[in-house]
Amino acid sequence: MLVGLLLPLVLVVPVHYRGRARVRASKPPGWDGPGWRLWHVWLAFSLLIVAELLAFYLVQPATFARLVSGASSSSATDFASAQAAFGRQLLWTSAAVGATVLVILPLAPPRLLLATRWSVPRALGAGVLAFLALRIITVILAPALPALGSDDHPQRELTESLRLMTEQHSLWFTVLLAALLAPIVEEILFRGVLLTGLARRISFGWANAIQAALFASLHLTAPLFPIFFLMGLIAGELMRRSGGLLAPLTMHALNNVTAILALRWLAERGSA
């Protein structure tokens, strides 16, 4: 838990001192609008790490103990047990992340959740256009990746997880959690807290690249890192131009909805 509290400082401390150097050089901040500050970055992500560790420990204490001790086990029984606990793990993790967002959300103006510079229709339209552009790029890059739903696909584990979640609950519950709540949480944390907090100290370009890299790393799939990184960059630019999270949230939610529906279609075709 102590590591979880200290780990965000690896990013926050260098950015803080880089910001002081920019101030001495009379360079303007990368972001001077409403939003969070650098200490909010530490608060949000330290709480996030600790909350997820606690959720993991409560749901799978045996697996948690093995990870902490460095022991390993690959038995079929352990794998089956881990699969069976996934639904509860995801729900607990979602609750932990949601609690973190509830703590950090009141520290910024509510208007930031929409758009301070654009109208709501313009922000929604920009999000839709950004989603379509991202889909076109994904389709162009798709031939270089294994087929979606195959054993070799880099997100096979996520695919299986969503399938299990749909079976344990329902398709609409999965859509609500993964295609609506997850984008809201991720946009607040990455394009809200992280981006605005960093950009108050360093240039917007560097702040956007850092948050996009961390966002892509969160998805734990190296082959798809460029796509998620690009998605993070586009979302950050939408945030800068619109002055709010509605446009990137629209792009993110549409992306997740289409992914879940595609996985559902593959599952139904496979069982037919």
DSSP 69: H
As a whole number, mean pLDDT of residues 20-44 equals 92
Measured CA to CA, the distance from residue 212 to residue 103 in angstroms comes to 23
105-114, 128-137, 140-149 — most confident range: 128-137
Per-residue pLDDT for 25 more than 90? Answer: yes
Nearest to 54 by CA among 85, 90, 93, 84: 93
The model's pLDDT over 123-142, given as tens digits with 9 standing for 90+, comes to 999 999 999 999 999 888 77
As a whole number, mean pLDDT of residues 139-168 equals 63
Measured CA to CA, the distance from residue 81 to residue 73 in angstroms comes to 12
Q: How many domains, the chain?
A: 1
Tell me the Cα Rg of the chain. Answer: 19
- Is 33 within 8 Å of 52 (Cβ atoms)? no
Task: Give pLDDT, residue 16.
Answer: 96
Backbone φ, ψ for residue 201 (5° rounding)? -115, -30
Measured CA to CA, the distance from residue 90 to residue 164 in angstroms comes to 11
Task: Give pLDDT, residue 266.
Answer: 63
The model's pLDDT over 220-271, given as tens digits with 9 standing for 90+, comes to 677 788 889 999 999 999 999 999 999 999 999 999 888 777 766 665 665 5
- Is 32 within 8 Å of 240 (Cβ atoms)? no
Please state, rounded to an integer, the average pLDDT across all residues of the chain: 80
Task: Give pLDDT, residue 131.
Answer: 96
Task: Give pLDDT, residue 103.
Answer: 80
Task: Give pLDDT, residue 60.
Answer: 64
On whether the pTM is more than 0.75, the answer is yes
Q: Which residue range is the domain that position 165 belongs to? A: 2-271
The model's pLDDT over 58-105, given as tens digits with 9 standing for 90+, comes to 766 666 565 556 555 544 445 445 544 555 555 666 667 777 787 888
